[in-house]
Structure 1
Amino acid sequence: MTLDLAGQAILFGTAVVANFFSALSGGGVGLIQFPILIFLGLSFGTALATHKVASVFLGVGAILRHMKESHLERRACLIILGAGIPGVILGASLILKAPEKEALMTLGVLTISLGLYSIFKPKLGIDYTPKNWTGSGLWQGMAGLFVVGFLNGSITSGSGLFLTIWLIRHFGMDYKRAIAYTLVLCGFAWNGTGALVLGLAGDIAWDWLPALIVGSVIGGYLGSHIAIRQGNTLVKRAFEATTILIGLKLLFI
């Protein structure tokens, strides 16, 4: 279906706001953006594929900002991509066949748990203490990345938050560093893979994408800028608020 100018304006504004908060907290763009696509008239499958394509450009906006002062390490990037992308492909291949309600309720409980876990661990993610990059710890970490990749391919809200908390909890990153990896690798490479698989399996509302893409780049850039400039404490609070809101949305909306 084709949107009029007012509908395109809604898409653009939604994309800016959703991607700004996602870039600040390390995930959650689908909390706002995906439901709006359905509200404006797209079917679940078309909305999911269209959202995945648009969310790639959150990663573009983040890359544009993080290129200036990035702490991303090449080896860590390759590990996250290599372990996560197979999970993304599997998740995206199965999601359109899954029982939606049960999956979303389970995900809602897990997402709220992420926020509560961070709240009750006040030191979590404040300092950078790298660990588990070799030996059995690395293999366990890669298994976790595969699971998070599966979630990224199969769900619409919050998968980046799972990657952020896994990089912090298992690999010892701080919030700002973990969010940089999440936005660049999950936002661009993982979401790009999921978008390709879903696009081949379903429909994409191509005429809806320009407004979503421009809004995604702007919101991703601005959110990344604030995250870089502020300390880990503010970013941690944004993460906690986003996870709890997304979890409640998945459970009750």
Structure 2
Amino acid sequence: MSEYLLEQLLLFAISLVANFFSALAGGGAGLLQLPALLFLGLPFAVALATHKVASVFLGLGATARHLQSSRYDWRFAAFILATGVPGVLTGAAIILTIPDRWSQLALGILTTALGIYSMVQPNLGMEARSAHRDLKGMVIGGAALWLIGALNGSLTSGTGLFVTLWLVRWFGLDYKTAVSYTLILVGIVWNGSGALMLGWLGQIRWDWLPALIAGSLLGGYLGAHLSIVKGNRLVKRSFEAMTLLVGLALIGRAMGMSV
């Protein structure tokens, strides 16, 4: 078997596993996928842009499953896009010009805190309720989504988890519904916007994308299917596990950079 084929199979396997758990938990594919691209020799900026492109197909794979069994408030979806995409473009425009050690450390601590918060709130996200849909609530919620969008555009992993928990905690969605919004809107549109910006400003490793895209599509579909079949409790537990793993990984990476 040629070295190129082995490389493609390895990329596919990493992408499949990373995106399966990301689709189940509502984010975190970069925990495995981006470090793997760096380990295989890509510079950070190229690895980040390549990862962002592949992540769009996680959203497509998950969407193919969620649209079969979920109903959406498309006005609310448009609000998430209108507030988040400008933040994504802002973050993507600045990431290539600044060191990211301290931002990754802060993000890691905050992501870990999100997982702990969800763990100590056993009923959080188990049932849907409508919350903060008045003008004040939407303004605050939109400002937070803009900030998360900026993190999504500028950092590597975990920001989809922020969107999932924010939709649960602030707007009252249950976990399963929040994950489906995150995968469709963040996975496709937010990540797509970031990928376009990063690709325009930097470079993408095009010959690695077929394997990464195949793994993203299949992993996204399978993860979304399991979340729909098993329901909110499994999704909540997966979210908590993924936030802790992503948070600790980001902290470890940031501490390694500081040595």
Query: Which TM class, normalised by the smaller chain length?
Result: over 0.9
Structure 1 CA distance for aligned equivalents of residues 41 and 97 of structure 2: 21
Counterpart residue identity of residue 206, structure 2: W
Counterpart residue identity of residue 57, structure 2: F
Residue 87 of structure 2 corresponds to: 87
Deviation (angstroms), 1:98: 2.0
Deviation (angstroms), 1:36: 0.3
The secondary structure found in structure 2 opposite 1:42 is coil
Residue 206 of structure 2 corresponds to: 206
Structure 2 CA distance for aligned equivalents of residues 62 and 34 of structure 1: 20
What does 1:187-206 align with in structure 2 at a 5 Å threshold? Answer: 187-206=187-206
Deviation (angstroms), 1:134: 2.3
Query: Gaps (5+ residues) in structure 1?
Result: none
User: What's the TM-score, normalizing by structure 1?
Assistant: 0.98
The secondary structure found in structure 1 opposite 2:68 is coil
Deviation (angstroms), 1:124: 0.7
Deviation (angstroms), 1:69: 1.1
Counterpart residue identity of residue 52, structure 2: K
**Number of equivalenced pairs:** 251
The secondary structure found in structure 2 opposite 1:33 is helix
Question: What is the RMSD of the two structures over their aligned residues, measured on CA atoms?
Answer: 0.8
Counterpart residue identity of residue 162, structure 1: F
Structure 2 CA distance for aligned equivalents of residues 66 and 196 of structure 1: 25
Residue 104 of structure 1 corresponds to: 104
Structure 1 CA distance for aligned equivalents of residues 216 and 231 of structure 2: 23
Deviation (angstroms), 1:135: 1.5
Residue 75 of structure 1 corresponds to: 75
Counterpart residue identity of residue 114, structure 2: L
Residue 136 of structure 2 corresponds to: 136
The secondary structure found in structure 2 opposite 1:67 is helix
Are the aligned partners of 1:83 and 1:143 in contact in 2 as well (CA < 8 Å)?
A: yes
Structure 1 CA distance for aligned equivalents of residues 241 and 184 of structure 2: 22
Deviation (angstroms), 1:67: 1.3
User: What's the TM-score, normalizing by structure 2?
Assistant: 0.95
Structure 1 CA distance for aligned equivalents of residues 103 and 68 of structure 2: 39
Give aligned-pair identity as a percent: 55
Query: Gaps (5+ residues) in structure 2?
Result: 254-259
Residue 59 of structure 1 corresponds to: 59
